Amino acid sequence: PVGSTATIIACKFTEHGKQPTRGQAMLLLGAIVADTLLLTSPTTTEIDRRQAAALAAIAHVDLYSFGRELLVSNDETLDRPAAELVEKDLKEFSGHDTRFAIAQIETVERTRLGPDHLQSFATALRERRQRSNWDFAALLVTDIFRGDSMVLIDSRTPAIARLLGPSGE
């Protein structure tokens, strides 16, 4: 198992005694960086790390500078509508007569998200919870570089909100 399909492709080059071109190496490296969140994802393997380092050398780029730049350029949290982002990775659950949903938005630098962005996420979460008639909904805004999340919660009743704890950092 590896964290990125691009790692398998890079391994195939090696197995066949070939070396990717600089452009191919950069594309493969970009895919590995995106799939493994710059080698920080729990699914990242030592094979991913070795291939990423080798591809960075072939592409003549600093792995971490290239990876950070790529992830920042792919960060959609400032550009896409909040309602669309809330839907992107949303899962519904039910149990013990309770219906709820949990969504996650990943960003590379949560500090770039000002109060207006966070309020738009909270509004989108509330609207989605109401439309689906869930008892509560939670949105994790995960900073992939810091490795932490802020949780926004919207609930039908104050009692649920008290049980789940305060929203925010």
For 55-103, give the DSSP string: HHHHHTS-HHHHHHHHHHHH--TTTS-HHHHHHHTEEEEEETTEEEEEE
pLDDT at 169: 44
pLDDT at 109: 84
Give the burial class of 168: count Cβ atoms within 10 A of its Cβ; 0-12 exposed, 13-18 middle, 19 or more buried. exposed
pLDDT at 161: 72
Three-state secondary structure call for residue 18: coil
pLDDT per residue of the chain (169 residues) written in tens, 0 to 9: 999 999 999 999 999 999 999 999 999 999 999 999 999 999 999 999 999 999 999 999 999 999 999 999 989 998 999 999 999 999 999 998 999 999 999 999 888 899 999 999 999 999 999 999 999 999 999 998 888 899 999 999 877 777 776 654 4
Q: Which two tokens stand for residue 33?
A: 């960086």
Instruction: Identify the helix (H) or strand (E) that includes residue 47.
Output: helix 46-59
Amino acid at 109: E
Per the prediction, the chain carries an average pLDDT of: 93
Q: Are 21 and 59 in contact (CB under 8 A)?
A: no
Query: Which positions ≥6 away from 168 have C-beta within 8 Å?
Result: 150, 152
Between CA 164 and CA 7 the distance in angstroms is 40
pLDDT in tens, 17-38: 999 999 999 999 999 999 999 9
pLDDT at 147: 85
